């Protein structure tokens, strides 16, 4: 089975659900992310959710933690 990757896919949502998702993405800066994908009756189904990106201060903290873990691994490797 080789499905056409660029064909239009049907999104099975009610109009108010679709408007809510579009509004969250455009106005509030959220991103639509797939949570899980499964097959049912020969159709692929995907559960979707809204996610908010990291703020700048969160990114700095993550980078600092990652650098510390890397440095710690180097120290343990030398010892």
Q: Does the residue 26 lie in any domain?
A: yes
Q: Does the residue 5 lie in any domain?
A: no
Range of the domain at 23: 15-78
Q: Does the residue 4 lie in any domain?
A: no
Q: Does the residue 2 lie in any domain?
A: no
- Confidence (pLDDT) at 4: 82
Q: Does the residue 9 lie in any domain?
A: no
21-69 residue pLDDT tens? 999 999 888 999 999 999 998 888 889 999 988 777 778 888 999 999 9
How many domains does the chain fold into?
A: 1
Q: Does the residue 49 lie in any domain?
A: yes
Q: Is the pLDDT of residue 79 over 90?
A: no
Please name the helix (run of DSSP H) or strand (run of DSSP E) that holds residue 55, with its range, or none: none
31 φ, ψ (degrees, to nearest 5): -125, 140
């Amino acid at each position: 089975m080789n499905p056409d990757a660029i064909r239009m896919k049907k999104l099975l949502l009610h109009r108010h659900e679709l408007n809510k998702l579009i509004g969250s993405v455009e106005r509030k800066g959220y991103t639509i992310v797939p949570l899980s994908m499964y097959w049912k009756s020969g159709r692929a189904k995907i559960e979707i959710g809204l996610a908010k990106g990291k703020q700048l201060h969160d990114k700095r903290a993550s980078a600092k933690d990652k650098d510390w873990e890397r440095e710690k691994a180097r120290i343990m490797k030398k010892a």
